[in-house]
Structures are given as structure tokens and as C-alpha cells.
């Protein structure tokens, strides 16, 4: 047993072939507190926390810990990294394009956080508080601790009260084709308690290593809104309560079978509860929408990794998953029940996936990373909708990487991507405080499929700088968008497959040290993304953008480290977004304005950190605009229409945090 653990420790001491290693000395000037703060300073790396897709294989983020993916889907990757003390990190390895023996998780760039094998107690406690700018104050207490040697343990907890900081106070206007309508003053407020606990335990078992983890989360957010007519003084009110809960248990077992072969087993169980009780009341009547929804998922996964040579490795694996959804929805208007399509639905899914992956470093400047995955799932719906269907897809992927120099790299990717049916799309939903209203469910959806081609160029410079330009084109089959369904109770909007389309993306990322520009120990980090898409509208039969796509997003962050004063300051500017959804009788546009924040971090002692943030300095606006037509929407939007325009501005926020670390 001791010999095996020593062999594993020696293997962990050498960076992966083709990886760039960043030791603690690279981050020394910033005095990072945890692995998340270290990764934020890695040139050309932007954290991807993964997705909430069902199954384990397709939901990964772009960070490994000691070469393994955390056996959790619910515990946010950002939070996992924040719980790893910087003193425990031996180095961070960044793999671009692929490397033998490294599962890239379907990502072009992957980071591996390699931990030290030291034992001993480490941890931190935090107290944080918010001044929301509207007279409300919020706070939270956090703790985390870890320790052990051959047997390791970790615990963390959070208890506090939170808020969204999105809507705030605003004004609303309505009108029709005949002229302007009422103007209202909007007062909103949302907040609620939240609790979170995580735990993990790891020890040697059967000549391998077993890690167990758990995650528990609860919140209960209450949203209140009053719309006051500026002329008559009439009040329309909307109140909503959202209880949410999550429970998760995970296990990861890994064992070295030989000097070249490694086995990894993963088991995962989770349960998520979601509820909405929304009540809208005013001069026009009273409406009530209620949802009670529970999802469960159980996953079993096995992977064998074989390193044939230092330049060639393969991976074979399979996973099985069982998913269940139970959702009950109801809608009342003035005390009268209004039937909804797919209001009460139970969904069961049996999913199986097998995959083979290979990484080959052909030459020092060339490498290939490829995989082929076969997915098969059977989905059965019961309740208001009765159906059963089986779906199967083959998903190949190939990445070619060329490094003409130590500082430059070109990556080419070809892949067939298959989306996943969102169980939320199967059931009815409601938004009674907006013009969207109630939308129906559609259990008969098909997942989107796309052939994707991507090219990326990366140039590193000035030791800490990197420029990455990525262009992506996707030919999409079965675009999931919006369409109508007609029932005896009326016509409703719902998710629907509306035909084939395309998506294009151009992304520029920049990390630039600012020493040569006069700001010593300064760093600029930012990105800009431009998106295009096209699909034929099922209502107007004309070409338009795919619903929900954000044409432009960007952000810029500037930081400066002042180690002589134990200070770090930063300024962050976020570009906001705009997105439009197209319904058969309406269009909904949501726009978030750019906003600015700044912060200062001070370390009065090596084990104490004080951070103060001045957030939302620009008091960002958030606008919701809906144009609703009396009939179906036509290509030019002609005909009688009603406009609802709601514009919110949230105030400035002051945030303060005191963190005390212990154990090094």
C-alpha cells in the first residue's frame, strides 16, 4: 500500500506531457488565498464551470483536481476551487489542445490543480455583508476546513441571506397601436435565506483511493412587486415564493492497475426540488400560478485509462443514468381553473453512453485528441401526456493542435454535438408579472444536433500575456425555439423544434501585463464575443436570429498588485447583453446595461484578508420589452399590437468581507 501511494505521488510530481506548469512562485505577488484566485491569473485561461446537463460525461467543466474531475455536478466548480487553500497547491498545469493521458472533458483548454501531499489542519472562516443601497442589509457566514494525510477530509458551510440585485425600482409603460397607455411606477424586492453544507472524505481502499462527497443546499426566495398607476393610483401586485432544495451524494474510486493502466469508477445520486407560487392581483382580476417539481438522477460510470507510450494514450468508458421528473402545475384566473397543456407530467429517462478517447502527440509541434461517443436514451412521459421514444446518436470529435513555437498554437476542432432535452421544456411554466404570461409544455421535443467546426489561434507574450482568437461555425438540425399549441382553452406558446439553422461565433480573449505600459504589476484581462445565427421563423416563414442568442458580450478587468503594501486593487467593467425571444404572437426583448465595479483587498496579516467592493457603480438598467399582436405575428410586425415596456435600475451596492485562514 505504501509503495503504491509513493508511486502515485511521484507520478503527480511530473507535469503532463505538453502541459504548461505554473508553480506557486508565479502567483506570489498576488498572495492568492485559494485555487480559484490562482486560476484567475493564469494567462489565456477562463474558467468554465460546466453545465447542468443530465449524465456525467457531458456536464464537465474545464478544471481537474489531481487529474480527476470532482464527483459532483451540483457543487459549483468555482466554489470547489475557492475551498482549496493556495498553500495546498503544488502547481497548476494548463493543457491546450490535448495531451496523452489527460481527459480533456471535451474542452479545448483544461487546467489541472495539483495538490501537495502534506497533512495537517487547514481552513478559513469568513464574514461578509452587503449594503443593497435601498435600506436593506444582508450577510453570511462561511467556513471551511480540511485535514488528514493518507485519510483526507473536507467540510464547508454557508449560512446567510441573499438577493439577486437585478430588478430594483423602475418604471413601466404600456400602449397599443391606437396610442400610449398607462404609465406605472414599479417597486420590487427579492431576498431570502440560504443554507449550504459540503463534506468529503478520502482514504486508501483495495489498493486504490476512494473519495466520498455530499452536498446539501436550501433557499427560499420571496419576490414582491407593486405596479402603481401614475395617474389613477391603482395598484397591481405580484408576489412569488420560490423554494429550492438540492441533495447530492457522490463517490469516486481510482486505482492504478499497472504502470500504464488506471481504473476510475464514479457513482452519483442527486435530488432537486423546485417550487413556484405566484399570485398576481389588481384592477383586472386575480391570477394564481403554482408549480411543484422534483427531479432525481442516479449515475454509474467506469473508465479505464491506458498509457501505451509517453506520446500515446487511450481511454475506454461507459456510464448509465436514470432520471426522473415529477411536475404538477396549475393556473387559476379569478378563481376559475384554466387547463394547461402538459400541466401534470411525470418523465422517466434511461440513458446509456459508451465512449473511446485517444491522445497522440505525433511530434513535439503536433498532437491529436479524438473521441467517439455513442448515446442512447429512452424517455417516457405519463400524466397529461402519454408517450415513449428512444433516441440514439453517435458523437465524434477530433482536435488537431499545431504549436509552431513555444509561444504560439493553432487548434482545429470538428465535432458533432447533440443537445439535451430540458425537462423544464416538458411542463407548463408561468411568469404572471410580465407580458409573457403562461407557456405550455412540450414533451415531444427532439434534441438539437449540430456539426461544429472551430479554429483557434493563441499567442502568449511578455511571460504573463496571452491573446486567443476563436472562430466557430455550427450547422444545426432541429433548432429548439418557440412555437404555438392550440387547445380548447386557447392558444399557448411552447418550446418547439422549428427546423434547421446555423450559429457562428467569434471570440477574442486577452490577458496582458501592464508593466511595459506604466502600471507596474498591473494586469488586464478581458474578452469580447460576437454571435450570429439564422433560422426560418415558423410563424412568418422569414429568416431571423435564433431566440435567446446574445449578439455581443464583453468584459474588461484591470488589477494591480502592491506587495509592499499588502494590497491588490481592481476595476471590472461588464458589457451587459441583449436577447430576443420570438413567440407566435409576440416578441420579448431583455437588455442588461453595462455596469462597473471596483474593489480593494488588504492583508494586514498573512492570515487575515479584508476585501471591500463598490459594486454596480453605474446603477445598471435592466429592460423588459414585449410586443404582443392581436393575431399571429407577421414578417413586418404589422397589425394591432400592444407594447409593454419595463425599465429597472438597481442601486449601488457595498460589499465587505473579512477572511481568517488557519493552518498555513
CATH code of the domain in which 86 resides: 2.170.130.10
Averaged pLDDT, 36-51:
81
Residue 588 pairs in a beta bridge with 581, 626
Residue 42 lies in a domain: yes
Q: Which of 105-119, 223-237, 475-489, 636-650 has the highest mean pLDDT?
A: 223-237
What is the pLDDT at residue 404? 93
* Tens-place pLDDT, residues 224-254: 989 898 888 888 898 999 999 999 999 999 9
What is the pLDDT at residue 182? 77
The SS3 of residue 343 is coil
- What are the Cα distances from residue 516, in Å, to 465, 520, 522? 12, 8, 10
The distance in angstroms from the start CA to the end CA of the chain is: 29
- The DSSP letter of residue 640 is S
Q: How far apart are CA 447 and CA 434, in angstroms?
A: 28
* Tens-place pLDDT, residues 328-370: 888 888 888 887 766 787 888 899 999 999 999 899 899 999 9
Higher confidence at residue 65 or residue 473?
473
What is the pLDDT at residue 5? 33
- The DSSP letter of residue 34 is B
Residue 200 lies in a domain: no
* Tens-place pLDDT, residues 87-116: 888 888 888 877 777 777 777 788 888 888
The enclosing H or E element of 476 equals: strand 465-477
Residue 470 lies in a domain: no
Residue 29 lies in a domain: yes
Tally of domains in the chain: 1
| CA-based torsion, 423, 429, 434, 435: positive or negative | positive
Averaged pLDDT, 304-321:
92
Residue 518 lies in a domain: no
Residue 279 lies in a domain: no
What is the pLDDT at residue 568? 92
Residue 53 lies in a domain: yes
**Residue 168 — pLDDT band, cuts 50, 70, 90?**
confident
Which candidate, 163, 65, 5, 40, places its Cα nearest to that of 511? 40
**Residue 271 — pLDDT band, cuts 50, 70, 90?**
very high
Contact at 8 Å (CB) between 119 and 151?
A: no
What is the pLDDT at residue 18? 65
What is the pLDDT at residue 234? 87
Residue 45 lies in a domain: yes
* Tens-place pLDDT, residues 278-305: 898 888 889 888 889 899 999 999 999 9
Three cell numbers at 78? 468555482
The enclosing H or E element of 139 equals: strand 137-148
pTM of the model: 0.84
What is the pLDDT at residue 638? 56
Q: How far apart are CA 585 and CA 179, in angstroms?
A: 20
What is the pLDDT at residue 10? 33
- pLDDT over 50 at 1, yes or no: no
Higher confidence at residue 444 or residue 569?
569
Q: How far apart are CA 48 and CA 510, in angstroms?
A: 16
Please state whether beta strands 63-65 and 109-115 pair in parallel, antiparallel, or not at all (unpaired): parallel
State the residue range of the domain holding 24: 1-117
Amino acid at each position: 500500500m505504501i509503495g503504491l501511494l509513493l508511486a502515485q505521488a511521484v507520478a503527480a510530481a511530473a507535469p503532463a506531457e505538453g502541459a504548461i506548469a505554473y508553480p506557486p512562485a508565479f502567483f506570489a505577488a498576488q498572495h492568492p488565498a485559494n485555487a480559484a484566485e490562482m486560476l484567475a491569473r493564469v494567462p489565456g485561461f477562463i474558467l468554465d464551470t460546466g453545465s447542468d446537463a443530465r449524465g456525467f460525461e457531458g456536464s464537465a467543466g474545464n478544471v481537474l483536481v489531481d487529474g480527476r474531475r470532482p464527483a459532483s455536478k451540483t457543487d459549483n466548480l468555482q466554489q470547489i476551487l475557492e475551498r482549496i487553500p493556495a498553500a495546498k497547491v503544488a502547481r497548476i498545469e494548463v493543457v491546450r489542445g490535448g495531451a496523452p493521458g489527460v481527459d480533456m472533458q471535451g474542452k479545448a483548454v483544461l487546467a489541472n490543480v495539483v495538490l501537495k501531499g502534506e497533512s495537517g489542519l487547514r481552513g478559513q472562516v469568513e464574514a461578509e455583508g452587503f449594503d443593497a443601497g435601498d435600506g436593506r442589509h444582508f450577510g453570511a457566514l462561511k467556513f471551511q476546513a480540511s485535514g488528514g494525510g493518507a485519510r483526507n477530509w473536507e467540510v464547508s458551510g454557508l449560512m446567510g441571506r441573499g438577493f439577486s440585485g437585478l430588478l430594483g425600482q423602475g418604471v413601466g409603460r404600456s400602449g397599443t397601436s391606437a396610442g400610449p397607455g398607462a404609465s406605472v411606477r414599479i417597486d420590487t424586492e427579492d431576498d431570502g435565506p440560504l443554507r449550504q453544507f459540503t463534506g468529503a472524505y478520502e482514504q486508501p481502499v483495495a489498493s486504490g483511493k476512494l473519495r466520498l462527497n455530499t452536498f446539501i443546499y436550501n433557499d427560499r426566495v420571496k419576490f414582491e412587486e407593486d405596479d402603481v398607476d401614475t395617474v389613477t393610483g391603482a395598484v397591481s401586485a405580484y408576489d412569488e415564493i420560490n423554494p429550492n432544495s438540492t441533495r447530492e451524494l457522490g463517490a469516486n474510486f481510482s486505482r492504478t492497475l499497472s504502470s500504464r493502466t488506471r481504473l476510475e469508477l464514479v457513482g452519483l445520486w442527486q435530488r432537486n426540488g423546485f417550487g413556484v407560487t405566484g399570485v398576481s392581483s389588481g384592477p383586472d382580476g386575480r391570477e394564481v400560478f403554482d408549480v411543484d417539481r422534483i427531479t432525481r438522477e442516479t449515475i454509474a460510470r467506469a473508465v479505464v485509462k491506458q498509457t501505451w507510450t509517453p506520446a500515446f494514450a487511450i481511454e475506454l468508458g461507459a456510464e448509465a443514468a436514470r432520471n426522473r421528473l415529477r411536475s404538477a402545475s396549475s393556473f387559476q384566473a379569478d378563481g376559475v381553473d384554466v387547463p394547461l397543456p402538459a400541466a401534470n407530467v411525470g418523465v422517466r429517462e434511461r440513458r446509456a453512453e459508451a465512449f473511446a478517447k485517444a491522445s497522440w502527440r505525433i511530434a513535439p509541434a503536433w498532437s491529436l485528441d479524438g473521441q467517439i461517443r455513442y448515446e442512447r436514451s429512452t424517455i417516457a412521459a405519463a400524466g397529461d401526456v402519454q408517450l415513449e421514444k428512444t433516441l440514439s446518436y453517435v458523437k465524434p470529435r477530433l482536435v488537431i493542435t499545431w504549436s509552431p513555437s513555444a509561444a504560439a498554437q493553432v487548434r482545429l476542432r470538428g465535432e458533432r454535438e447533440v443537445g439535451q432535452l430540458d425537462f423544464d421544456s416538458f411542463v407548463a411554466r408561468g411568469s404572471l408579472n410580465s407580458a409573457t404570461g403562461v407557456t405550455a409544455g412540450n414533451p415531444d421535443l427532439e434534441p438539437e444536433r449540430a456539426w461544429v467546426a472551430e479554429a483557434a489561434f493563441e499567442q502568449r507574450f511578455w511571460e504573463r500575456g496571452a491573446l486567443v482568437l476563436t472562430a466557430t461555425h455550427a450547422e444545426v438540425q432541429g433548432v429548439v425555439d418557440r412555437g404555438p399549441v392550440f387547445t380548447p382553452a386557447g392558444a399557448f406558446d411552447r418550446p418547439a423544434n422549428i427546423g434547421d439553422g446555423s450559429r457562428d461565433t467569434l471570440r477574442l480573449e486577452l490577458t496582458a501585463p501592464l508593466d511595459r505600459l506604466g502600471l507596474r504589476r498591473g494586469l488586464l484581462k478581458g474578452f469580447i464575443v460576437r454571435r450570429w445565427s439564422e433560422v426560418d421563423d415558423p410563424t412568418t416563414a422569414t429568416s431571423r436570429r435564433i431566440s435567446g442568442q446574445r449578439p455581443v458580450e464583453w468584459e474588461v478587468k484591470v488589477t494591480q498588485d502592491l506587495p509592499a503594501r499588502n494590497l491588490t486593487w481592481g476595476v471590472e467593467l461588464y458589457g451587459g447583453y441583449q436577447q430576443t425571444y420570438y413567440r407566435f404572437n409576440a416578441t420579448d426583448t431583455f437588455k442588461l446595461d453595462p455596469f462597473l465595479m471596483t474593489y480593494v483587498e488588504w492583508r494586514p496579516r498573512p492570515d487575515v484578508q479584508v476585501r471591500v467592493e463598490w459594486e454596480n457603480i453605474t446603477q445598471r438598467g435592466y429592460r423588459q420589452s414585449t410586443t404582443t399582436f392581436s393575431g399571429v405575428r407577421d414578417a413586418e410586425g404589422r397589425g394591432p399590437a400592444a407594447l409593454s415596456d419595463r425599465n429597472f435600475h438597481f442601486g449601488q451596492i457595498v460589499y465587505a468581507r473579512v477572511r481568517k485562514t488557519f493552518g498555513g
